[in-house]
Amino acid sequence: MHNSQNRTPYLDELISYVKNKTLAFHTPGHQQGKGAPKKFADFIGMKALEADITQILGMDDIHQPRGIIKEAQELAAEAYGADYSYFLINGSSSGNQAMILSVCNPGDEIIMPRNAHKSATGALILSGVRPVYIQPEFDPEMHVDHTISTEKLEKTLKKHPNAKAVFVVSPTYYGATADLRTIAKLSHKYGKAFLVDEAWGPHLHFHPDLPVSAMDAGANLSVNSTHKLISGFSQSSMLHLKGKRVDRGRLEGVLKIFLSTSPCSLLVASLDVARMQMATHGRELLTKTIALANHAREEINKIPGLKVFGKEIIGKPGVHDFDSTRLPITAKELGYTGYEVEKILRRHYNIQIEMSDLFNVVALITIGHSEKEIKKLIDVFKKFASSKFKNGSEKSHLFLKRLKKAVELPPHPPQRMTPREAFVAEFKTLNFKDSAGRICSEIVTPYPPGIPILCPGEEITREIIDYLKMELEAGIKIQGPVDPSMKTIRVVR
Ligand SMILES: Cc1ncc(COP(=O)(O)O)c(C=O)c1O
């Protein structure tokens, strides 16, 4: 990578502004910490507060970058192999919305997997775009959906010649990646823009042993949550553009709608340094990370009753490659739900993993971990597997025993209206258990992973009602509906 990648133009200007002790009469109102409550200032430190500024003279304008943000974004584009990169300060959620709105108009079709993140559903509501869903490939062993198959995609492309774009999620929360190169070729063969929600892949481009990144595979737009796996502060993401299929002017116009006019300088600086760190030291940092993750996987796999998934899942339907820094772990043979494992690890061992579902937990191993911490993780799993947890786990044991038969995800429900039509339609509140056959007008999302089980416009099926009842009993958390306990639901009147 070019020497210029050592530069951090945005951070340097921020440091210089703070050092100059310029007398400030600008936002934010805490005036670089002087007006902040002492409790907060003592906790986060004055330095962080002094550095919390926004778009003043010299700090550039994220809506029309001409100076240090422009320079920092150009460095990011060079580092990621994009033509243009854009800093996002409202996460990949805003990136997904910007991607979809920049290539589709109201009424247009977009081909996308049904297990896309809820921010993509949000984009459909905002835009009035019609989703043509492809069912992702279900893995009965892990009990999760992976990515879409290229065969299903080609069939869909033939059936929907007017669709404007192909949108794909890769990697998934569980680390599976799609066959991006083939999908890029297919999308382009049929004249479509290719968009990738690569929220879980800000590191992929920087190591040859990781799956190919969307930009390298031929995507036209991709979004990375820089905060998820590398050094960005929470909410800081990037959107990359390559090629001529997407109109850059339209994309930049859409971004101006989604971006705050007061970007937090800490977020922007963290994007500047995360890029610098990956471009200059990414390979060595990730070599260590991959080795730590593989070591943890090997050791935890030796513990009876536990299973950590890894590269052996490559080749299953919907798994073209696998990000080995991810540790999807199941303790179902010991009788624990993933929700239980998460709680036990936190309450008894002070370890917090990234997420849990009915059968799995997912631990992220990143550039921030050391050998000592990985050893602790392995030791804790050994203790966990040989302990009997009386509170809660008994319930879980019974719960999984009660399930007995293999649990399948319910079939994705039929789509009766577009997400926007159903979201803005007049609604009626019904008891959820009595709502079969009605059209849902809310987004119903287990969080994490943030994949809606019901999108507005879909028919509520008996299978979904029964499945959600079982998941709620197991401990799933629902986000989105007015009544997250799911006793009631809003349906189209
Ligand atoms: C696949 C996927 N896309 C997008 C997002 C949204 O990312 P962010 O939290 O950066 O807004 C998430 C968040 O978990 C995600 O899992």
Instruction: State whether 393 and 478 are in the same domain.
Output: no
| Distance between Cα 401 and ligand 1 center (Å) | 33
Instruction: State whether 201 and 326 are in the same domain.
Output: no
Which of 338, 373, 403 is the last residue before a domain boundary?
403
Instruction: State whether 468 and 397 are in the same domain.
Output: no
Q: Taking residues 148-161, what's their average pLDDT?
A: 98
**Residue (of 257, 258, 264) closest to 236 by Cα position:** 264
The predicted-structure confidence for 408-454, as pLDDT tens digits, reads as follows 788 889 999 999 999 999 999 999 999 999 999 999 998 878 899 99
Q: Does residue 264 form part of some domain?
A: yes
Q: Taking residues 131-155, what's their average pLDDT?
A: 95
Q: Does residue 414 form part of some domain?
A: no
Q: Does residue 413 form part of some domain?
A: no
DSSP state letters, 450-479: T--SB-TTBBPPHHHHHHHHHHHHHT--EE
Higher-confidence residue of 394 and 172: namely 172
Return the ligand 1 atom nearest residue 235 CA. 10
Instruction: State whether 148 and 207 are in the same domain.
Output: yes
Which of 214, 248, 279 is the last residue before a domain boundary?
279
User: In CATH, what number is assigned to the domain containing residue 427?
Assistant: 3.90.100.10
φ, ψ (nearest 5 deg) of residue 282: -55, -45
Q: Does residue 287 form part of some domain?
A: no
Residue 100 predicted with pLDDT over 60 = yes
Q: How confident is the model at residue 319 (pLDDT cuts 50, 70, 90)?
A: very high
Q: What was the pLDDT predicted at 406? A: 63
Q: How confident is the model at residue 390 (pLDDT cuts 50, 70, 90)?
A: low
Residue 63 predicted with pLDDT over 80 = yes
Q: Does residue 285 form part of some domain?
A: no
Q: Which of 225, 259, 357 to mutate to test the pocket of ligand 1 (most atoms within 8 A of CB)?
A: 225
Report d(CA 159, CA 377) in Å as an integer.
49
Instruction: State whether 209 and 66 are in the same domain.
Output: yes
| Distance between Cα 301 and ligand 1 center (Å) | 28
Report d(CA 206, CA 220) in Å as an integer.
19
| Distance between Cα 96 and ligand 1 center (Å) | 9
Q: Taking residues 80-107, what's their average pLDDT?
A: 98
Six token digits for residue 102 = 């920049």
Q: What was the pLDDT predicted at 371? A: 98
Instruction: State whether 142 and 236 are in the same domain.
Output: yes
Judge whether 384 and 393 are in contact, CB under 8 Å.
no
E-assigned strand segments in 252-343: 307-308, 321-322, 326-330
User: In CATH, what number is assigned to the domain containing residue 257?
Assistant: 3.40.640.10
| Distance between Cα 311 and ligand 1 center (Å) | 23
Instruction: State whether 274 and 333 are in the same domain.
Output: no
Report d(CA 170, CA 183) in Å as an integer.
11
Judge whether 210 and 367 are in contact, CB under 8 Å.
no
Residue list, ligand 1 pocket, CB within 6 Å: 91-93, 96, 117, 119, 169, 173, 197, 199-200, 225, 237, 449-450
When the pLDDT of each residue in the chain is averaged and rounded to a whole number, the result is 95
| Distance between Cα 173 and ligand 1 center (Å) | 9
Q: Which residue puts its alpha carbon closest to atom 7 of ligand 1?
A: 92
Q: Which residue puts its alpha carbon closest to atom 1 of ligand 1?
A: 117
Instruction: State whether 398 and 275 are in the same domain.
Output: no
The predicted-structure confidence for 212-264, as pLDDT tens digits, reads as follows 999 999 999 999 999 999 999 999 999 999 999 999 999 999 999 999 999 99
Residue 68 predicted with pLDDT over 80 = yes
Q: Does residue 411 form part of some domain?
A: no
Higher-confidence residue of 146 and 407: namely 146
Least confident range from 89-98, 162-171, 215-224, 449-458: namely 449-458
Q: What was the pLDDT predicted at 212? A: 98
Instruction: State whether 296 and 275 are in the same domain.
Output: no
pTM exceeding the 0.85 threshold for the entire prediction: yes
User: In CATH, what number is assigned to the domain containing residue 332?
Assistant: 3.90.1150.150
For the chain, what's the residue count? 493
Report d(CA 48, CA 32) in Å as an integer.
8
| Amino acid of residue 55 | Q
Q: Does residue 461 form part of some domain?
A: yes
Which of 279, 303, 337 is the last residue before a domain boundary?
279
E-assigned strand segments in 372-436: 427-431
Instruction: State whether 457 and 321 are in the same domain.
Output: no
Q: Does residue 410 form part of some domain?
A: no
Residue 403 predicted with pLDDT over 80 = no
469 phi-psi bin (left φ>0, alpha ψ -120 to 50, beta other): alpha
Instruction: State whether 431 and 386 are in the same domain.
Output: no
Q: Is the dihedral of CA 304, 309, 312, 318 positive or negative?
A: positive
Total domains, the chain: 3
| Distance between Cα 117 and ligand 1 center (Å) | 7
Q: CB burial class (10 A; 0-12, 13-18, 19+) of residue 371?
A: exposed
Question: What is the extent of the structural domain holding 312?
Answer: 292-403
DSSP state letters, 107-122: T-EEEEETT--HHHHH
Judge whether 234 and 90 are in contact, CB under 8 Å.
no
Residue 281 predicted with pLDDT over 80 = yes
Return the ligand 1 atom nearest residue 116 CA. 1
Instruction: State whether 158 and 12 are in the same domain.
Output: yes
Q: What was the pLDDT predicted at 137? A: 95
Q: What was the pLDDT predicted at 408? A: 76
Q: CB burial class (10 A; 0-12, 13-18, 19+) of residue 350?
A: exposed
Report d(CA 208, CA 13) in Å as an integer.
33
| Cross-strand pairs, 443 | none
Q: Taking residues 452-465, what's their average pLDDT?
A: 95
